[in-house]
Amino acid sequence: MKYKNIIDMHTHTDNSFDGNHSTMYMCENACAKGLRAVAFTDHIEVDFYREKNFDKTAVQSFFDVTKARSAFNGKLVVCAGIELGQPTYDTATAEEIISERDYDFVIGSIHNLRGEEDFWYLDYSKYDIDKLLSEYFDELCTLAAWGKFDTMAHVTYPLRYIVGEHSIPVDMAKYQSKIDEALKLLVENDRALEINTSGLRQKLGRTMPDEDVVKRFKELGGKMVTVGSDAHYAEHLGAGIETGMDIAKRCGFNSVMLFQNRTPVEIPIE
Ligand SMILES: [Zn+2]
Ligand SMILES: [Zn+2]
Distance 196 CA to ligand 2 centre (A): 9
Q: List the chain pLDDT tens, one digit each, 270 residues.
A: 899 999 999 999 999 999 999 999 999 999 999 999 999 999 999 999 988 999 999 999 999 999 999 999 999 999 999 999 999 999 999 999 999 999 999 999 999 999 999 999 999 999 999 999 999 999 999 999 999 999 999 999 999 999 999 999 999 999 999 999 999 999 999 999 999 999 999 999 999 999 999 999 999 999 999 999 999 999 999 999 999 999 999 999 999 999 999 999 999 999
Q: Ligand 1 centroid to 150 CA: how many Å?
A: 14
> For 232, which DSSP code?
S
Asked if 49 and 9 count as a contact pair (C-beta separation under 8 A), the reply is no
Instruction: For residue 28, report the distance from its CA to the centre of ligand 1, in Å.
Output: 23
Nearest ligand to the C-alpha of residue 208? 1
Evaluate whether 79 touches 260 at the Cβ level (below 8 Å): yes
Ligand (nearest to CA of 16): 2
User: Rounded CA gap, 228 and 75, in Å?
Assistant: 20
Query: Three-class SS string for 79-148?
Result: EEEEEEECHHHCHHHHHHHHHHCCCCEEEEECCECCCCCEHHHCCHHHCCHHHHHHHHHHHHHHHHHHCC
Backbone angles phi, psi at 178, to 5 degrees: -70, -40
* Alpha carbon of 67 to ligand 1 centroid (Å): 24
Ligand closest to 11 (CA) is 2
Cα 125 to chain center, whole Å?
A: 28
Protein residues placing their CB within 5 Å of the ion ligand 2: 83, 230
Give just the sign of the alpha carbon dihedral 157, 158, 161, 163: negative
CATH class of 7-264: alpha beta
pLDDT of residue 1: 85
pTM: 0.98
Helices within 147-220 (DSSP H only): 157-159, 176-188, 211-219
- Report how far ligand 2's centroid is from the alpha carbon of 43 (Å): 7
**Could you say which ligand is closest to the alpha carbon of residue 108?**
1
Residue 47 CA, ligand 1 centroid: distance in Å? 14
Measured from the alpha carbon of residue 9, the closest ligand is 2
The candidate with the shortest Cα–Cα distance to 39, out of 50, 52, 30, is: 30
**Is residue 56 left, alpha or beta, with left meaning phi > 0 and alpha meaning psi from -120 to 50?**
alpha
**Which ligand sits closest to the CA of 120?**
1
Closest ligand by atom to 110 CA:
1
Find the 230 Cα to ligand 2 centroid distance in Å.
5
Q: Where are the domains of the chain?
A: 7-264
From ligand 1's centre to the CA of 83, what distance in Å? 7
Are the beta carbons of 226 and 9 closer than 8 angstroms? Answer: yes
CB within 8 Å of 52: residues ≥ 6 apart: 17, 45
Ligand 1 mean position to 1 CA, how many Å?
Answer: 27
Q: Which residues contact 4 (CB under 8 A, 6 or more apart)?
A: 270
Centroid of ligand 2 to alpha carbon of 41 (angstroms): 7
Q: What share of the chain is helix, strand, coil (3-state, %, to 5)?
A: 45, 20, 35
End-to-end CA gap in the chain: 11
Ligand nearest to the CA of 118: 1
**CA atoms of 8 and 228, how far apart (whole Å):** 5
Q: Rounded distance, CA 113 to CA 133, Å?
A: 10
